[in-house]
Amino acid sequence: MVDGFYRIGQASKHLGVSSYHLRRLCEAGAIDAELTSGNQWRVAIAEVQRLKRDGVPPIPQRLSKEEDDEDQPDESREVPEGLYAEPSEDVIDSAEEVTITENRLRKRRLERELEQEEDFFRERATREAAGQAAEREEARKQQERRRRREWEDEWISFALDRVPDDAPKELGLEVHSQVAEALARLQADQPAIAVRRIVEAAVDKALAPWHRTNERVKAIEEAIRDLPYAIQRNDDLEDLKLEAIRLATNAVNQCHPEAASATLQAAARNAVKPVLRVFEHAQTVKAVASWIFVRGASYQEQQEAAELVKTALAKLPVGCPRSQMERTRDEALAGVLARIAERERVAAATAEQQRQRTAAEWRLNRLLDHIGDYLKEDYEYGDTYAGIGERFDDARRLKEQIRPTLLEECLADPSLDDDDLRNRIEELVDELL
């Protein structure tokens, strides 16, 4: 049992009646209540709970104290004022009729109040029955909704499990939407095999765009993988790789949306063939132009030759034969080779002249010593120290004077032998002395 009390205002709010109604019931003793020292009524919590359960009765229509007194006969009544004797039988009969009528009226009033009470309890029972029925119906609907939700969640989980692991996360939302839309048109009591087929079809529909995109991407990737390794990995050939991807992508996008994988792959491979031809052409050009070494060329001439070959080969159309590239290379090098050959010829001639001059100088150095012997034999210097010194000085002076002339004559006529040169030396000495 719950202890505690409610004030009249609190109890009336809990019971849904007015404070006046509840206070009149307290005054009539129709409910269990007590009056506080401050003349305020309070109702026990347990009584409020009982009234909630059994219902609040109406305010009783009690008889006034005066009406109750009239029902009781009084033998010692005095003669009513204004009468000279006891009432006659007619008066008594009239009074009795009035009393009977009043009692009948009082009875009917009580019957009406009883009927009102019974109507109240019948209405309350009807309301309670209707409320219980509504609660049962709501519980049934909630249970049906819960089962429907569990059924849908089970099939949605089944559908999401069929999404590939490598699929984008947002694809799960599309699968959920498609499956939920399909389930909304089905009943939970339909055969599982039929529901499964419909769910699988919804999943396939949601995954179809992604599968088609994957097939196109795969066709492009395979076409790129078929290209030479250098195109795929060499940063210097990144432009070729990007061009191959662009061509393959355009070719695949031009295919029918429902095109088979084999068709997409064939389109991508054919699209990258021009890139492959460009690469092969570049590799052949590189091979033809590599290791260009021009014998006798300077560093600058080597660089010039390489640039000339590169420029000439760059003008050739893609796909031309290697033989044409080699001819073009040789034609580009012709000018440099001619210039180097001419320089080498001039250098060789200069070297030969220098060699001849050196040989002539060495020969003259040997033959010019003949001046001393010639002076000793043909000119009188004496055997004194002064004479010998004079002869030595003259020989040295004559050597320096004769050397340039004799060298030019020796170079001009390489056929002169030593005797010819000795004779010429003697002639020149005689001319100078």
Model confidence over 106-146: pLDDT tens digits? Answer: 878 888 888 888 888 888 888 888 888 898 989 989 999 99
DSSP for residue 237: G
Tell me the C-alpha to C-alpha distance, in Å, between residue 64 and each of 69, 70, 71, 101, 116. Answer: 9, 10, 11, 17, 21
CB-count burial class (<10 Å; 0-12, 13-18, 19+) for 411: middle
How far apart are alpha carbons 29 and 401 in whole angstroms? 173
| Rounded Cα distance, 347 and 341, in Å | 10
Residues 6 or more apart whose Cβ sits within 8 Å of residue 62: 28
pLDDT in tens for each of the 433 residues of the chain? 556 888 888 888 889 888 888 888 898 888 888 888 878 888 988 888 999 888 888 888 753 343 344 444 444 444 445 444 555 445 544 665 676 677 778 878 888 888 888 888 888 888 888 888 898 989 989 999 999 999 989 999 999 998 998 888 888 899 999 899 998 998 888 899 999 999 999 999 998 888 888 899 999 999 999 999 888 888 888 998 999 999 999 999 999 988 899 999 999 999 999 999 999 988 888 888 887 788 888 888 888 888 888 899 889 998 899 899 989 988 998 988 899 899 889 989 999 888 988 988 888 888 888 777 777 776 665 565 666 777 788 788 888 888 888 888 888 888 888 888 888 888 888 888 7
Reported pTM: 0.46
Largest Cα span, the chain = 232
